[in-house]
């Protein structure tokens, strides 16, 4: 829920700011800013809650804490890559791939009722999946629309 709030709040603030400064809406820029802010917010969790986040990975996976730190770094790199025109399309596709790849960990965390902030098993119920799955789809569509689709339409 927090990433969605951050995404929408950042989009609203950046949209209003660009309108105030440029006297016109720039939703594409605002969409990239919002995704970057959301990625930086979620990356922060990888460094604040590495123990709890590593519990999102099944026991069979080695080097869990290192994976959590690496995925945090990936999110930071993606947040920056969205603003480098030569890398924007590639960043968008890699970010979509990332969102697909982390979905099983989010599903697993929900199944085991993980509260990653506390590192306990008193987290969200399975009903949370009805929110999480569409949220992940929103992140994928958002990334596609504000990075890949927009960049493709600019080339035409």
pLDDT in tens, the chain (156 residues): 899 999 999 999 999 999 999 899 999 999 999 999 999 999 999 999 999 999 999 889 999 999 999 999 999 999 999 999 999 999 999 999 999 999 999 898 888 899 888 988 898 888 888 888 999 999 999 999 999 876 655 555
Q: Is the pTM of this model over 0.85?
A: yes
Cα 26 from chain centre: 21
Q: At what angle do helices 64-81 and 27-48 cross, to 10 degrees?
A: 160
Q: What is the DSSP letter of 115?
A: B
Any idea where the domains of the chain sit in the sequence?
A: 2-155
Q: Is residue 26 classed as helix, strand or coil in its secondary structure?
A: coil
Torsion region of 113: left, alpha or beta (phi above 0 gives left; psi -120 to 50 gives alpha): left
How far apart, in Å, do the first and last CA atoms of the chain sit? 37
């Amino acid at each position: 829920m927090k990433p969605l709030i951050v995404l929408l709040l950042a989009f609203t603030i950046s949209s209003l700011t660009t309108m105030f400064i440029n006297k016109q809406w720039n939703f594409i820029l605002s969409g990239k800013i919002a995704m970057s802010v959301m990625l930086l917010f979620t990356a922060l969790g990888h460094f604040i809650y590495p123990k709890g986040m590593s519990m999102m990975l099944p026991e069979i996976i080695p080097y869990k804490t290192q994976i959590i730190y690496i995925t945090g770094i990936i999110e930071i790199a993606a947040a920056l890559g969205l603003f480098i025109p030569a890398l924007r399309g590639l960043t968008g596709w890699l970010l979509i791939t990332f969102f697909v790849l982390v979905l099983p960990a989010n599903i697993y965390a929900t199944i085991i009722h993980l509260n990653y902030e506390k590192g306990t098993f008193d987290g969200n119920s399975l009903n949370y999946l009805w929110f999480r799955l569409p949220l992940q789809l929103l992140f994928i569509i958002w990334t596609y629309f504000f990075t890949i689709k927009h960049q493709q339409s600019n080339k035409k």
